[in-house]
Amino acid sequence: MARPYRLQASDTFYHITSRGDDRKKIFRTGEDYNKFLTYLGKAKERFAFRLYAYVLMSNHYHLLIETLEPNLSRLMQYINSAYTTYHNLKYKRSGHVFQGRYKSIIVDKDNYFLELSRYIHLNPVRAKIVEHPEKYQWSSYLVYLKKGTCEYIDVSEVNRIIGMGAKEYEQFVFKGKGIKESLIQKPYAGFILGSTHFIKDTIDQLKQQVENKEVSYKSELMGNVDPQQIIEELERLYKKSWKEIITSKKRPMKEKQLGIYIMRRLTGMNNKDIGKYFEMKEHAVSKVTGAVESKMEKDKNLRNEIEVIVSSFNRLTEN
């Protein structure tokens, strides 16, 4: 079955949710929650978007974001893929961490921002983890109450949009505790939350995007670099044929490892597709990517070497 097309637009608000595969835990320790937030922060450095609210539950998460460029697929693939690599390495497993694709709902911020932020912040209360949302550590609620900080939340924009003080917002959230069912749980067609006019405009945008031959779902997923360019550049840098690079039995097989990491970073392809280029299984690609990232955190020379190589590909895409 073909996957539904996602609207990739700038200046668009999205409610994002992603669940653990088979509803299993994706966060087990405080380190796991913090690591996910770190990847969220790194995504903000790489992609143009604002983060307005979040809650991280043990087996799923919610984000309220605004894309400033049409890059939703790329930024979400980066976040989930980076965390999957970390999770699988830490817990010595392979395969999927998240259940299928993330779910995205386009949001009419003028009519639903407040209610949606309340819905997100009340998740731990509805799950009976805490009685009051301020008692839950892994959400942005305390930022709204001005009792906590989070460097990844765009606080000034939040304050501008909600248009109320901390005490008033706290009372607004408190009133929501008694509401059993919310309109935000019933988006139009499963992916649009807004007024009739907003829904019509969103559908018109989607039709135009689908009909535009210059934009395809595949191109949205891919990064700026063609995989063949990476192959040719690695052959030039290491003065080896592609066959020699991918079949090397020498340890630590540096060229192959860096090639996998760079292809993962610059193309946006999934591990399975990258594995085809390197004649490796999907889980092996995930392991290599995670291993390189771990080494980069400790080895400044390796990090610099990789950035030099990445810069060479950036140069290629600009020509």
- Looking at residue 59, what is its pLDDT? 97
DSSP 4: P
Lowest-confidence pick of 24-38, 67-81, 145-159, 247-261: 247-261
Q: How far apart are CA 109 and CA 296, in angstroms?
A: 39
Residue 156 above 90 pLDDT? yes
Cα separation of the two ends of the chain? 38
Q: Is the pLDDT of residue 147 over 50?
A: yes
Q: What is the pLDDT of residues 258-268, one digit of tens each?
A: 888 888 888 77
Beta strands, E only, the chain: 12-19, 49-56, 60-67, 103-107, 192-193
Q: For residues 287 and 275, give the distance between their C-alpha atoms in angstroms, rounded to a whole number.
A: 12
Segments making up each domain of the chain, as ranges:
12-218, 222-318
The encoded tokens of residue 136 equal 């839950």
* Whether the predicted pLDDT of 216 surpasses 70: no
The whole-number pLDDT of residue 215 equals: 41
Q: Is the pLDDT of residue 238 over 90?
A: no
| pLDDT surpassing 80 at residue 142 | yes
Query: Of 211 and 95, which is predicted with more confidence?
Result: 95
Q: In what order do the strands lie in the sheet with 103-107?
A: 49-56, 60-67, 12-19, 103-107, 192-193
pLDDT at residue number 222: 42
| Arithmetic mean of pLDDT, 111-123 | 95
Residue 133 pLDDT > 60, yes or no? Answer: yes
- What percent of the chain clears pLDDT 70, i.e. is strictly above it? 87
Higher pLDDT pick, 266 / 154: 154
Q: HEC states along 86-148?
A: HHHHHCCCCCCCECCCCEEEEECHHHHHHHHHHHHHCHHHHCCCCCCHHHCCCECHHHHCCCC
At 294 the pLDDT is 80
In Å, what is the CA distance from 289 to each residue of 57, 154, 226, 257, 282?
26, 30, 19, 8, 11
Superfamily name and number for 12-218: Transposase IS200-like (3.30.70.1290)
pLDDT tens-place string over residues 162-199 = 999 999 999 999 999 877 666 677 888 788 998 889 98
In this prediction, residue 125 carries a pLDDT of 96
Could you please state the CATH topology (level 3) that the domain comprising 222-318 is classified under. Answer: Chromosomal Replication Initiator Protein Dnaa; Chain: A; (1.10.1750)
C-alpha span between 56 and 33 (Å, rounded): 7
- Category of 92 on φ-ψ map: left (φ > 0), alpha (ψ -120 to 50) or beta: left
Pairing assessment for the beta strands 103-107 and 60-67 based on DSSP bridges: unpaired
Amino acid in position 21: D
Burial annotation 220-255 (CB, 10 A radius, 16+ → b, else e): bbbbebebeebbebbbeebeeebeebbeeeeeebeb
Mean pLDDT value across the chain? 85
